[in-house]
Amino acid sequence: MMRALVSMSALSLLLAALPAPMLAQGKAAAAPKAASTAVVNINTASAAELDALPGIGAKTAARIVDYRQKNGPFKKIEELMNVRGVGEKNFLKLKAQITVGAAKADHDRPSQSH
């Protein structure tokens, strides 16, 4: 009986000690992504640039690029919430770091003056 109690105590101490290092690793990995302060134009940004935004992973960045190719440039930043994976919560985190501007194709077109 005493042996079982000692074994259970040792096991619970071991389990209690395991999550701490894992938590520290998770925070360290997330820190560089949150450090980005540059404003990103969601109409011209590459998937890699979008991936650098907080709350946006590689899959969501690819979806943003796909959405932009299928639907044309974003007219306002709120349209980003139409992309699967970008809900209101994520959008509110991103709002200060994103902008919409003319898409690259608009800059490449020659001006029409008559």
The mean pLDDT value for 41-52 works out to 95
Q: pLDDT by residue (tens digit) across 60-89?
A: 999 999 999 999 999 999 999 999 999 999
Q: Are residues 47 and 27 in the same domain?
A: no
Q: Are residues 49 and 102 in the same domain?
A: yes
Domain housing 25: 1-32
Q: Are residues 42 and 97 in the same domain?
A: yes
Cα 55 off chain centre by: 3
Q: How many residues does this entry show for the chain? A: 114
Q: Are residues 5 and 26 in the same domain?
A: yes
The angle that helices 19-34 and 2-17 make with each other, rounded to 10 degrees, is 10
| CATH number for the domain harbouring residue 74 | 1.10.150.320
pTM above 0.85, yes or no: no
